[in-house]
């Protein structure tokens, strides 16, 4: 019988040296829950100082407490990445607290499932503003202080649907995140000569509360998870901890020569669904 696991038995962070990011400051947007929380906790476990930002303060406190329980320092800021003035304030407070921002992880984003003809103009603009413009707001401002210091790493979290297959039923988010991939590559070209690396990470479907609440429930499909797993050769959803470990890798010395990449980490979801056509024994 095939298993449809959503967890893994190993610790993805066991690969990395303890205190790999000691005395480094990592800023994670959307850092209060889900993938962002896992990323923040991963860096905290490896010795980093954390700045976590989210629109809702109630999402930040439990994660900030968990980070401090690991012995790491943490600044949590409720703000909107869509508002340039609030981004300016976030960057200023981060530098005032820790002196620098060494790593930026643009994880904040959001969308809602809808058929193209059901998306209003305001709904389209809200999703594009959050996912594309919000990411630019952080890249441009944090990137500026990294360029001045000639060091830093930026990872933009997108989705496997940012590429050729399209993003049904998230046409607005898919378009915005495809823009983030292009922006990532353009920034990498300019920033590399100044010692700053910029990459994108494209997870596939990951088992998080957001996936269940924001996508499964709104899609009104009790079998949504099973249908997604059908399209994943690994035959399971990814975990937030796996995404976090891959993010850590892209910011680590092991990835020093990786720049302008859009790394897909999706259990093979990008390849399309498995069919009996690929199995000689099925005929």
- Tell me which residues are annotated as active site: 161
What phi, psi does 77 have (nearest 5°)?
Answer: -130, 120
State the DSSP string of 180-204: HHHHHHHHHHHHGGGTEEEEEEEE-
Evaluate the omega torsion of the peptide bond into residue 157 and state whether it is cis, within 30 degrees of 0: no
Whole-number Å distance between alpha carbons of 229 and 258: 30
Of the candidates 106, 122, 269, 114, which has an alpha carbon nearest to the alpha carbon of residue 181?
Answer: 106
- Give the integer Cα–Cα distance in Å for 93 and 99: 9
Please count the other Cβ atoms lying within 10 Å of the Cβ belonging to residue 4: 13
Whole-angstrom Cα Rg for the chain: 19
Residue entry with tokens 């930002």? 53
DSSP string, 244-260: HHHHHHHHSGGGTT--S
């Amino acid at each position: 019988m095939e298993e449809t696991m959503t967890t893994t038995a190993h610790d993805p962070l066991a690969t990395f040296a303890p205190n790999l990011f000691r005395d480094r400051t990592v800023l994670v947007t959307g850092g209060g829950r889900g993938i962002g929380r896992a990323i923040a906790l991963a860096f905290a476990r490896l010795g980093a100082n954390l700045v976590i930002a989210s629109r809702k303060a109630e999402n930040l406190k439990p994660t900030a407490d968990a980070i401090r329980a690991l012995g790491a320092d943490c600044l949590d800021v409720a703000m909107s990445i869509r508002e340039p003035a609030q981004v300016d304030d976030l960057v200023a407070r981060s530098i005032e607290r820790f002196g620098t921002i060494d790593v930026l992880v643009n994880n904040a984003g959001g969308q809602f499932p809808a058929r193209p003809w059901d998306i209003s103009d305001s709904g389209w603009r809200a999703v594009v503003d959050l996912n594309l413009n919000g990411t630019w707001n952080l890249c441009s401002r944090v990137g500026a202080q990294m360029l001045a210091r000639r060091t830093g790493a930026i990872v933009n979290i997108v989705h496997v649907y940012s590429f050729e297959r399209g993003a049904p039923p998230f046409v607005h988010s898919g378009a915005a995140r495809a823009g983030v991939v292009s922006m990532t590559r353009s920034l990498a070209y300019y920033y590399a000569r100044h010692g700053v690396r910029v990459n994108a990470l494209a997870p596939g479907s990951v088992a998080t509360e957001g996936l269940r609440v924001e996508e499964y429930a709104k899609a009104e499909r009790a079998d949504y998870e099973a249908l997604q797993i059908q399209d994943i050769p690994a035959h399971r959803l990814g975990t937030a901890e796996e995404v976090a470990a891959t993010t850590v890798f892209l910011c680590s010395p092991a990835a020093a020569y990786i720049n302008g990449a859009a790394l897909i980490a999706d259990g093979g979801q990008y390849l399309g669904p498995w069919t009996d056509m690929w199995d000689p024994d099925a005929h």
